[in-house]
Amino acid sequence: MNISRKVFGFFWAALVAFSFAACLCTFGHGSAAENAKTLSEAKEVMRAQYGVNKRITDGSYDKSLAVKCVNGTFVGKENDGVIVYKGIPFVGRQPVGELRWKAPVDVVPDNSVYEAYYYGKSCPQKEHFSEEASLYVQGEDCLYLNVWKADEKSVDGRKSGAAMRDGKKPVMVWIHGGGWFTSGTSDSTYDCHNFVKENPDVIVVSITYRLGFLGLLHLSHLPDGKDYPDAQNLAIMDQMMALKWIHENIASFGGDPDNVTLFGESAGGESVTTLPLVEGSHKYFKRVIAQSGTPVLTRTVEQSIADTNELMDMLGCKTVADLQKIDIKKFLDATDHFGMRIGPEKDGKYLPLDPYEAYANGAAKDIDILQGCNKDEMNYFMLVVGGTEPFVEMMNKRLTKNISQLTDGEKALVESFCKDVKGERYEQLCRLYNQIWFIAPLFRLSENQTKAGGKSYTYYFTVESSVPMVKSTHAIELSSVLNHPEDTRLTGRAFDETFSKTMRRMWVQFAKTGNPSLSADLSPDGKAHEWPLYDLKNKEVMVFDEFNIHPEKESERKILDWERTYFLTKYFCL
């Protein structure tokens, strides 16, 4: 059946409006948010979560909530057994004015005391599909992080866990998704209060980074571009600077700087699988958890330059100086045109020319990896663009451009794959790009990491939404992983509580020990779950069925079409 853009637009708006108030309890944790009776009231409650962290000069603060760091002493807030520190800057100067498109500046020592009560600003962006984005406080001064830790005075907070070293807790660093051009840590989905409340034996940090062409714009080829050699990879450089800050300061919060796990979804998953390829990065973390993200959407130098030139033409600019004069709203309107074409650049300097080859050559063999994807990833993108008709129109154009670089034999393989998919054209395109963007890159990364002697634990998430056509789509596992059962924007329902808790426990167990397997006494469902390492013969994955978490050989589920789509991983940014 064909569903029109209008019908789908109504469906999606209704879904967002329905879930908007539900997600507010993430912010309130039992406060007035639970009693907000109208959407207008709910928005006011959300806006109350934003403010300006001020310098404290009169000594009037709770010393038990204060943590001394290199760049200041930061005072958090305690709520229900969890202390949160919001909006801590991890740079010495924010990337504004003359620092736009410049590498992040390291912090300087500071003995002042500051509030850490409010989220920092989100990088400028256009609204995505959620009304929540319109409530973000935005600005180019956007490089901040947030820390959640259990209150040690609480009973739960005294749980040490077997993985603590010298009294320090394992640290999990969340990197948000959003296609490299949207979202931020202040999104209610990424509030980690519930996660830490349930798992007080870890500390969780979330970090921001520059988005879109503020963080990923090639400029060095322009007449005055030589002063901007890093502009194409600033998003990754921002993340590296945040990790440096965490390494130098997290012990003051009770965290172990030598036991850090990165985890992220979508662009966050791409981030955590790209960061191990940055020279010098391994001293900042030892494990990564990548949800629906690999370096597949990184760009070549040629692609980056072409995108910049197209942007310059759209804005009528010739130089970086011209770009600096463009109003930020006009700039965002223009960059919105590029969508999923924005991503880090494989420049051969900061990032390798071929990330897959780098993995095969052992660039990350000392980093433990847990990674996976969802069964129906592309359904999310179909919904966001407005339904089956606009999705088919958009993806047909993309596919026509993509296959132009293939050999005749390769084109025949792609066409054969599509013909074998039963159903309408949108189903063929969803299945094909599930393979191109998510499944094939996932398995190639697991293959190459294993070949190099590294560890990769691989999963396949299959739980479906109760909302028609959403299925097991992109990002649907977030409410389970980050412990937000109230957020039903994608799920349409709360997934089984024991299933979700078991999944979270595996994530935490991996962060603590490097192995996500659970013994029966550790598992919320009372069953032992042995998660086998990926190996080149059996190619086993952990299948996350809602009522049957189990390992399975890839060949039994036939997740990947090894003959007709795996070869496409040699073409980036398809």
For the segment 98-128, what is each residue's pLDDT rounded down to a tens digit?
A: 999 999 999 999 999 999 999 999 999 986 5
Sheet containing 72-75: which strands, arranged edge to edge? 55-56, 113-115, 72-75, 66-69
DSSP reduced 3-state for 534? coil
Report the percentage of the chain scoring pLDDT > 70: 87
- Residue 237 maps to a domain: no
Q: Which residue shows structure tokens 């998704």? A: 177
- Residue 106 maps to a domain: no
- Residue 226 maps to a domain: no
- For CA atoms 554, 556, 562, 565, the dihedral sign is negative
- Residue 531 maps to a domain: yes
User: Which CATH number does the domain housing residue 431 bear?
Assistant: 3.40.50.1820
What is the span of the domain harbouring residue 469? Answer: 398-574
Q: How many CA atoms lie within 13 A of 455 on its CB side?
A: 18
For 90, 125, 328, the CA distances from 214, given in Å and listed in that order, are 18, 10, 10
- Count of CB atoms within 10 A of residue 94's CB? 18
The Cα–Cα gap between 519 and 164 comes to: 19
The Cα–Cα gap between 227 and 225 comes to: 5
Q: CA nearest 293: which of 370, 185, 239? A: 370
- Contact by Cβ (8 Å): 107, 92: yes
- Residue 455 maps to a domain: yes
All residues at 6 or more sequence positions from 306 whose CB lies less than 8 Å from its CB, including other chains? none
Per-residue pLDDT of the chain (574 residues; tens, 9 = 90+): 333 333 333 333 333 333 333 333 333 333 334 434 444 554 565 556 678 999 999 999 999 999 999 999 999 999 999 999 999 999 999 999 999 999 999 999 999 999 999 999 999 998 654 445 556 789 999 999 999 999 988 644 444 444 556 689 999 999 999 999 989 999 889 999 999 999 999 999 999 999 999 999 999 999 999 999 999 999 999 999 999 999 999 999 999 999 999 999 999 999 999 999 999 999 999 999 999 999 988 999 999 999 999 999 999 999 999 999 999 999 999 888 887 789 999 999 999 999 999 999 999 999 999 999 999 999 999 998 889 999 999 999 989 988 998 999 999 999 999 999 999 999 999 999 999 999 999 999 999 999 999 999 999 999 999 999 999 999 999 999 999 999 998 999 999 999 999 999 999 999 999 999 999 999 999 999 999 999 999 999 999 999 999 999 999 999 999 999 999 998 866 5
Sheet containing 456-461: which strands, arranged edge to edge? 77-79, 82-89, 144-150, 203-207, 169-175, 255-265, 287-291, 368-374, 456-461, 540-545, 548-553
The Cα–Cα gap between 372 and 363 comes to: 20
Q: Which residue shows structure tokens 């739960």? A: 156
- Residue 466 maps to a domain: yes
DSSP state of 438: I
- Residue 414 maps to a domain: yes
Total tally of structural domains belonging to the chain = 1
- pTM for this one? 0.91
- Contact by Cβ (8 Å): 572, 299: yes
- Residue 538 maps to a domain: yes
Q: Which residues are catalytic?
A: 266
For the segment 221-255, what is each residue's pLDDT rounded down to a tens digit?
A: 999 999 999 999 999 999 999 999 999 999 999 99
* Element housing 28 (H / E): helix 25-28
